[in-house]
Structure 1
Amino acid sequence: MHIKLSHIPLRRGALALQMAVASLTLGGAAHAQQAPAAPARDGQTLGLVTVTAGATGPSEGSGSYTTSGSTSATGLNLSIRDTPQSVTVITRERLDDQALQTVFDVVNSTTGVSAKEIDSVRSYFYARGFQIDKIQLDGIPMPGANEGEAKADTIIYDRVEIVRGATGLMSGTGNPSASINLIRKHADSKVFAGSASLGLGSWDKRNGVVDLSSPLNKEGTIRGRVVISAEDKDNFIRLENTKKTLAYGVIDADLTPDTRLSFGFSEQRDRHRGNQWAGLPIFYSDGTRTDWDRSTTTAANWNFWNTKQRTAFATVEHRLANQWKLQFTANHRSNTGDQRLNWMDGMVDRNTGLGLEPWIIGYGVSDKQNDVGFTASGPFELLGRKHELAVGLLHGTHKTLWLSSDASVLPPIGDFRAWTGNYPEPKWAPYQTGSFTRDTQTSAYAMARLQATDALKFIVGSRFTNWERKGDQALWTANAFKIRHNGEITPYVGALYDLTPHTSLYASYTSIFDPQNYRDKSGTYIDPLKGKALEAGVKGELFDGKLNTSFALFQIKQDNFAIPDGNEVIPNTREQAYKTTSGTKTKGYEFELSGELLPGWSASLGWSQFDSEDASGKDINTAHPHKMLKAYTKYRLPGAWSKLAIGGGVNWEGRSYAEFIDPRNGKPLQVGQDSYAVASLMAHYQFSPQLSLQVNVNNLFDKKYYANQIDTFKNITFGAPRNVLATLKYKF
């Protein structure tokens, strides 16, 4: 954005114009800085003044379902239309309207992304047929899924940016699915501001949130923000109860007009009791299919799964006189999990309820990650045109320790039809080390946006990565090992052509390199995923940027793709073992629009569809749907009813399935979920500028459906029945 102020007459004694220049952090938080004042004499006119704002800023308070830009795809501060990949931004407004309170909720409502549960704590996310194996915090990849990452609370985030396609340029390693980038809230207010809310919902759900911002000195150059959240709820599944607490604090300080320091800390603790591990049996012993009530559980009343997520971060940003920006970041993450779990294996007799055996185990997990990075970005001139360049260095270590505790022998389950969870807790053996791995990654990247003509732009860059994983001999790894990949090059090429001032054609290409966390039947990690990803499409930016639209075609070719290895499991576990296949190919298309259609009417609509086959032409990755529709809209009534806003949406998924062996005849059998839709409604009433009440209804028509990825444990879990949440909110 450029605002030109020229030939403005200034009266005698008038102060010089003070320019507010938006300065952006890597995560998109903005602050204002003042240009030095210059006196003007009577009768003089002020020369040309340009006020420049970057493409990305906080979405909080915008009231919009879209943003003007994103840095997640390329590291450059680009508008969504100028980014040669599919980008979805879930703004703070939409997070609040849909009551998307966890990362799982967000992913489940995002175009082209599928979210499937494993159990009460863990989930798998997929896009374009491939697993999203990393969530990012302000652009820093965060591997892991066992310490509550999927159920992390979204209240501390300004927005969530999802880039679909290969994202190795910014993450160093990555498969061609998507990146999910959680952008933290910051302390941007120079006056005291905040909100408090209370929520009541189905299954005795109760939650409360306090979010406060304040200047910490008279000038407002040092500001602080605190977010505290607590929740207590039961579940539609018998025995389950969850208690959650979250605390987040951040300080943003303008050390000079050109230098900003941000540092903060967060901690989320989840306490699950009576939680189900894996799911329910698919078959009766006669080979026919089960049909359980949604409240049925295999958990014992002593089951528990506790998680704790801690993060600490610091960022220093400095703006140079030539419009370049330098930034240093440091991040620490420490996530832990502690579990005592009962699962049931086997097939139950339809008439007697017998046949299930207990599978009882205790786990402990500790995930620690440290990252430091440096980035520099800014404009440069070449051949009479202005271009942009971004370079970066990132070094990170990630250590994961798994502990395992066996249980004493317990009596049979008995008649499962009479199961209440009242089952004796075993004596637990001392912990053994299941596995201990240490990953180290050092990366450097460079990315340039080249303005070839007024209408044609190229985005070119590459990333250089050294990656290493070391593992100790342990219960799940027969021998110590070291895996190293040095000098991996991830190129990126994109082109954009402006058809009109508001419409662009684009195309992009990148390679794929992703060390995988899947293991084979011997417990050895499978080879890294490698391949190529192509994408092309058209993007529109309408109504002065209030509405973004896109249509994309994509094709992905891969080697070393992981597929389930029949009924094989990882040694000393019950988890599925995998093998690799090469020559896989995926192709498909996506459509999305998001933003304001008319004054007071916001909407998001997305359709995605793809086919994924191995070298022989057989469909792969069928446990996640290949067709999805995600739609949501909100309308604020006009005139005398303007205090009322109503909204609603629908998530539709095509068929998904896994292949099993039919216990009746030994032949292959497809087990899965037919296509289905889940609808939601919302009503928001603004009693005053400060006080509001919002009611959200989920699964409006009480659809019964499988919610899990069936091939993980070869069991089933159900999605939540119809449920209601009412939230009373007061803004200071």
Structure 2
Amino acid sequence: MTNSSNKARRLRACSAYPGMRNALFVSMLALGAVSAPVSVAAAEITSPVSYNIPSGSLDRVLSRFATSTGMTLQFNPSLTQGLQSAGLQGSYSPEQGLDQLLSGTGLMATRRAPGVYILEKIAAGDEMVMGPIRIGAESLASTQDGIGTVTEGSGSYKTEAMGTATRLSLSEKETPQSVTVVSRQLIDDMGLETITDVVNHVPGVTARSYDGRGAGFSARGFDIDNLQVDGVPTTWTAGWSAGETRANTLLYDRVEVVRGASGLVSGAGNPAAAINLVRKRANSKEFTGKTSISGSRWDTYSGSFDVSGGLNETGSLRGRVVGSFQQGDSFMDLASDEETLFLGTIGADLTPNTEFNAGVSYQQNKPEGSAWGGLPTWFSDGSKTDWDRSKTTAADWSEWSSKNTNYYANLEHRFDSGVRLYGALSRSVSDADLRLIYLYGSPDKTTGLGMGASPSWYDVERTQDNVDLYASIPFDTAEQSHELVVGVMHSEQELTTYRRAALSLDDVGNFYDWDGSFAEPEWGEKALNSKERTTQLGGYAVARLSLADPLKLIIGSRITDWKKEGMSVGDPIEHDGVVTPYAGLIYDINDTYSTYVSYTDIFNPQNQKDRNGNYLDPLEGKNYEAGLKASFLQDRLDASLAVYRIEQDNLAQTDDGYFVPGTTDSAYYAAQGTVSEGYEIQVTGAITDNWNLTAGWSEFSAKDANGDAVNTRHARRTASLFTTYNRDKWTLGGGINWQSESYTLATNPAGDADKIKQGAYTLVNLMGRYQFSPNLSAQLNIDNLFDEEYYSNVGFYNQLAYGEPRNAKISLTYKF
């Protein structure tokens, strides 16, 4: 199959939001797929639909048919060359319609999954042929979910389509940015339990552990300040974290990552990367499921289940329930956690062309012995410390517990013309209970004395409401097929924090003897600490028109209104009518290779304050990118090379030695003329039917206008590799993750300039799975095989945090 055969005119739907105050006009040119038309849908249509497709070349008629049905057709364009079609008029089911169109052409369609067909020549003696339709290997997981292709059950490390970058449903090769999709199969093979685990294995993206609050993510030298769920951004600040980075991957089908700026869809944001968590859906008409139990080091045990199926005879109403419970200790003294997870969702085919999905998810983490901050870097004489990895600054009563509840519903309708409308509502409620103690200072090297303590008790409440509406409109001009997407997104987030002051305080004493038995102080009355509301309204349009068979241009724009107000803000901060343009040009060199260039603006209001207590001005800049992409081995293996340049002003940098007035928060200054330049290489997919692979390398340089390096706490070079091979009942795999040096410049207790540094290090991971029967399997994952000792964070408040030592996990899974 050629590269062209997998290119798609994938059409997405949505509805325009009428409340935009600003007029939004976008003219865009975009090349769709040159040959094999592919259209995506949320669920396979089985009932008859009325068609009125005019006659024309067979490939164009098939393209219109696929667009109307939501069917995915993949084929070599040479198969349809010179063939004509009388079109299709009347009412047919999708398979009946496809049968009619292929009748007499010498072609047949092999059904690989619901709504997914491969076109081939009819060979003599071909078995199981029913007219031109042949039933092949089928997986209910390979349907569509509104943004891209569902990966669950595919056995693949890649996906056929994604929409995180532009809301156009594009393959990775058609997207004019550097992208990664972490599929369900890769998540399962690597035993990735949290979003932080996933991020640690995405090329060019890194995670840094803070303390009990979780982790911070970064890419291309900048912090990632939001997570998307089904394409809708959710923002948070590390200081008021409510478990966002500890989200369990059991809830999700896949994780899509678009590196670089993504303001067209997300609006305000850093030019680092967009991480989109795509939920599992109730997409199975048959009763199916799995249950699993596991155990790992530090007495950690878990059990989970995932059950789905039809709720009526036809399967037009479907349900799914996912749940898990995990309890265990940690390599850090005193630390333990108890996690409860639940997802309940339904899917309903209201009509043959209309699908409704709704659900609720809940995750609760109840840790004990949560740390606030890290370990001291220096002794009081300025010499470096060297603690055991299990050392903690937590007390035995401290906790950073969290609860996250998400309610969501979406509706998608497909018209016979191919136009699609999509609307979604969601509400997330996050609560956190922070009863903590922060140890600061530098202990005496001999006595261990000299550390101070600052206990605090905070309650955090965060609620975010989202509206997501968009329309996908296909149209043809000049013998080419195009797509226009227009939409609007509205979000309103309220953050409220409360504080109880400590009324009593014991001495820390000798830090060498610290075992957490620090008396919990008496607490004052609960009082309002901060309250703020952030509102964002954005309208966007993006189009893809074919300029010529090998050339397409994606161009669009977004207009954003952004406002923050509340007692902790002072005067409201408003930014109205911020325009974020986007453009990408893709050229197909041949059936294997394509090249692209893209551009977008950067806009991101900042939460950091300077030494005078004023908020820094918004981050502004430009993002340029160019690259080469390729598909090998009949499109089973994707490869890409991306080079980029990011220019921005007002980048927040720590103002060493200064604090925000009236607080213990570090002050920041705005660095001007910051430039980040780098490149990324990635290979993902299957080398053979039994051999999966994902690998990547990234490197960047980030400097300010004076040529001084910025954000040095981010490793400049990273590499990753993971591969599995299946033979008979065994699947064996392994990989590495490597990072170069990272550091922070600071002043030590002796008054000397010093560097808090983590040298380059490598982590090696292994996995093995044995299939006892088609239903029962056992899997072993070993992380950090050689027990590498490393810091997971350097310089956060001039302190240190250690990464996890060697860990082994064994699991038993039964599918039914």
TM-score by length of 1: 0.93
Residue matched to 2:211: 119
Q: Distance in 2 between matches of 1:319 and 1:705?
A: 52
Aligned to 1:86: 178
- 547 and 566 in structure 1: CA distance in 2 versus 1, 3 angstrom threshold: same
Please identify, of 605-614 and 342-351, the stretch whose mean Cα deviation from structure 2 is larger.
342-351
Which residue number in structure 2 is paired with residue 73 of structure 1?
Answer: 165
SS in 2 for 1:94: helix
Map of 1:140-179 to 2, 5 A cutoff?
140-144=232-236, 145=238, 146-179=241-274
Structure 1 residues not aligned, in runs of 5+: 4-20, 40-44
Which residue identity is paired with 2:748? D
Instruction: State the shift of 1:382 in Å.
Output: 2.1
1:303-452 superposed matches below 5 A: 303-452=398-547
Partner SS, residue 500 of structure 1: coil
Structure 1 residues 305 and 572, CA gap change in structure 2 (3 angstroms): farther
* Superposition misfits of 4+ residues, deviation over 4 angstroms: 21-25, 36-39, 47-55
Show the counterpart of 2:800: 716
Structure-2 separation of matches of 1:24 and 1:334: 32
Give the corresponding residue for 1:526. Answer: 616
d(CA) in 1 for partners of 2:611, 2:578: 28
Residue equivalent to 1:262: 357
Whole-angstrom distance in 2 between the partners of 1:338 and 1:455: 56
The one-letter code sitting in structure 2 at the alignment partner of 1:365 is: V
Partner AA of 1:715 in structure 2:
Q
Work out whether residues 22 and 30 of structure 1, in 8 Å CA contact, stay in contact via their aligned partners in 2: no
| Corresponding letter in the other structure for 2:48 | A
Q: Deviations over 1:38-64 (max 9, x none)?
A: 69xxxxx94458988689321000001
Say if 2:47 is the partner of 1:34: yes
C-alpha separation between the residues in 2 aligned to 1:109 and 1:70? 19
Alignment check: 8 A CA contact 1:248 1:264 kept: yes
Determine which of 553, 556, 580 is the counterpart of 2:646.
Answer: 556
User: Aligned-pair distance for 1:292?
Assistant: 0.1
Residue 653 of structure 1 aligns with an amino acid whose one-letter code is Q
Give the structure 2 partner of residue 515 of structure 1: 605
Structure 2 residue 659 is matched with structure 1 residue 547: no
Q: What is the letter of the counterpart of residue 58 of structure 1?
A: V
Equivalence for 1:296? 391
Query: Partner residue of 1:704?
Result: 789
Contact 1:200 1:726 in 2 (8 A): yes
Query: 1:48-87, CA deviations, whole angstroms, 9 ceiling, x for partnerless residues?
Result: 5898868932100000111112100110011111100011
Q: Is the 8 A contact 2:379 2:749 kept in 1?
A: no
For residues 228-275 of structure 1, the C-alpha deviation after alignment (integer angstroms, 9 at most, x for no partner) is: 011001000000010000110110000000000000000100001011
1:679 pairs with 2:730: no
Distance 2:661 2:321 in 1: 45
Higher relative contact order (CA 8 A, sep 6+): 2
Q: 1:585, 1:488 → 2: CA distance? A: 22
Name the SS of the counterpart of 1:494 in structure 2: strand
How big is the shift at 1:470?
0.6
Q: Distance in 2 between matches of 1:216 and 1:544?
A: 38
1:8 — aligned with what?
none
Aligned equivalent of 2:327, options 220, 223, 232: 232
Amino acid at match of 1:410: L
Displacement, 1:354?
0.8
User: Is the contact made by 2:340 and 2:365 (CA closer than 8 Å) also made in structure 1?
Assistant: yes
**Which residue number corresponds to residue 281 of structure 1?**
376
Match of residue 693 from structure 2:
603
The alignment status of 1:613 with 2:613, answered yes or no, reads no
- Cα distance in 1 for residues equivalent to 2:279 and 2:680: 28
Q: Which amino acid aligns with 2:673?
A: G
- Measure, in 1, the Cα distance between the counterparts of 2:513 and 2:270: 45
Match for residue 695 of structure 1? Answer: 780
AA aligned to 1:547 is: L
Give the Å deviation of 1:358.
1.1
> Of residues 749, 754, 758 in structure 2, which corresponds to 1:663?
749
Structure 2 unmatched ranges of 5 or more: 7-36, 50-90, 94-98, 110-114, 117-143
Cα distance between partner residues in 2 of 1:405 and 1:569: 22
Paired AA for residue 525 in structure 1: Y
1:316: Cα distance to partner? Answer: 0.5
Q: Deviations over 1:147-168 (max 9, x none)?
A: 0010110101000000001000
Q: 1:592 and 1:531, CA in 2 relative to 1: closer, same or farther beyond 3 A? A: same
Structure 1 residue 22: deviation in Å? 9.5
Write the distance in 2 (CA, Å) between the matches of 1:38 and 1:589: 49
SS in 1 for 2:468: strand
Match of 2:593 among 486, 503, 521: 503
The residue identity in structure 2 corresponding to 1:298 is T
Deviation by residue 1:637-688 (Cα, 9 ceiling, x = unmatched): 2xxxx10111111110000000111333x33211110000111110100000
Is the Cα contact below 8 Å between 2:45 and 2:353 reproduced in 1?
Answer: no
Alignment equivalent of 1:485, drawn from 575, 582, 606: 575
| Counterpart residue type for residue 205 of structure 1 | T
Give yes or no for contact 2:224–2:272 (8 Å, CA) kept in 1: yes
Say whether the 8 Å CA contact 1:33–1:258 is kept in structure 2.
no
1:519 shift after superposition: 2.4
Deviations, residues 583-623 of structure 1 (Å, cap 9, x unaligned): 10010000000110122111110000000000000000001
- d(CA) in 1 for partners of 2:646 and 2:255? 25
Distance 1:22 1:454 in 2: 16
> How many pairs are equivalent?
696
- For residues 466-503 of structure 1, the C-alpha deviation after alignment (integer angstroms, 9 at most, x for no partner) is 1111121x5xx6xx220111110000010000011121
Secondary structure of the 2:156 match is coil
Q: CA deviation at 1:295?
A: 0.5
Give 1:659's aligned amino acid. Answer: L
Distance 2:46 2:575 in 1: 44
Which amino acid in structure 1 is aligned with residue 807 of structure 2?
A: N
For the residue of structure 2 that corresponds to 1:628, the secondary structure is strand
Secondary structure of 2:472's counterpart equals strand
- Contact 1:372–1:396 (CA under 8 A) maintained in structure 2: yes
CA distance in 2, matches of 1:108, 1:164: 14
Equivalent residues of 1:548, 1:595 under 8 A apart? yes
What is the one-letter code of the residue matched to 2:518? Answer: Y
1:707 aligns to what SS in structure 2? Answer: strand
Secondary structure of the corresponding residue to residue 250 of structure 1? strand
Say whether the 8 Å CA contact 1:23–1:32 is kept in structure 2: no
Q: CA RMSD in A?
A: 1.8
Q: Given that residues 531 and 556 in structure 1 are in contact (C-alpha distance below 8 angstroms), is that contact kept between their aligned partners in structure 2?
A: yes
SS in structure 1 of the partner of residue 187 of structure 2: helix
In 1, the alpha carbon distance for the partners of 2:592 and 2:415 equals 31
Task: Quote the residue 2:317 is aligned against.
Answer: 222
One of 343, 348, 361 as aligned partner of 1:248? 343
Q: Tell me how far apart the structure 2 counterparts of residues 577 and 687 of structure 1 sit (CA, whole Å).
A: 58
Q: Which residue of 2 aligns with 1:209?
A: 304
2: CA distance, partners of 1:378 / 1:689 = 43
1:535 equivalent among 621, 625, 628? 625
